[in-house]
Amino acid sequence: MFNGPRAGVNFLDGFGGGNNIKGNLLFNWVRETGDHGPFNSWDRMPYLTTVRTGEPSVIPATTNITRNFIINSYDSTWPLDHDDGSSFYEDTYNFLVYGGYKNYLGNSKNVHDNIYVLPDSRSSGGGQCVEDVGVGENSGWGEQWYNNTCIFAGPNAGVYSSADDHKLAAGGNVYMTKSGNVTMQVGSVEEIELEEAQKTLGFDLGSVLEEFPSNK
């Protein structure tokens, strides 16, 4: 899928869930607009369906987004843009170029074993591995981000940004920079380095900093 004015795949609401997006190549989207990505979702209204268990429920079945190659070019902001309360997604084993992971007011997403390449090359979207915008007690509940690899273009990079106290559970990730440091902003705690965040906040445990990989 390539060359379109807005998102290539757009879920206007989660409805009953249970979708599978697998093995696709997306590039050159968001050529005429902005503020979203090649994939865009939101979840502004609950629906009563039987999709999850066969019994009526407002909780959707999990939607799987796996083994996709997405290039976040033109005016895209995030490769997988989970917007406006998007919930019950599993993003796994995707190769995502020029952008990081985004949660905006959502919950119950399991994001692991993805490779994020050069998120800091974007002039929009913060340029971080994770932008977790959680405002309110329920937002961010059940969010998990682990065993991912994030490769930065520059020596010093922002890994994580949250507008509220962190509820996303992170750990076991690999951050690669050009012999530099990675910092994060967690709620009211700004510009804290990875090691300090692990020691003082117990956040992103098991994650490590490595040097930028060689192209030889």
pLDDT tops 70 at residue 143: yes
Domain count, the chain: 1
User: Is residue 2 in a domain?
Assistant: no
Instruction: Give the ranges where the chain is alpha helix by DSSP (H).
Output: 194-196
| Residue 161 domain flag | yes
Residues 186-211, mean pLDDT to the nearest whole number: 85
Q: Tell whether the model's pLDDT for residue 71 goes beyond 90.
A: yes
In a domain? residue 99: yes
Q: How many CA atoms lie within 13 A of 36 on its CB side?
A: 22
Query: How many CA atoms lie less than 13 Å away from 189 in the CB half-sphere?
Result: 15
Q: What is the pTM of this model?
A: 0.92
Q: Identify whether 28 is part of a domain.
A: yes
- What local confidence, expressed as pLDDT, does residue 125 receive? 57
Digit-coded pLDDT (tens) for 78-135: 999 999 989 999 999 999 999 999 888 888 999 999 999 998 887 555 578 888 876 5
Whether residue 1 is contained in a domain is answered as no
CA 8 distance to own-chain centroid: 17
Its domain, for residue 137, covers: 9-211
Mean pLDDT taken over the chain = 87
Tell me whether residue 176 is in a domain.
Answer: yes
173 inside domain: yes
Query: First vs last Cα of the chain: how many Å apart?
Result: 31
**Would you say residue 216 lies in a domain?**
no
Burial label for 14, CB within 10 Å (0-12, 13-18, 19+), is buried
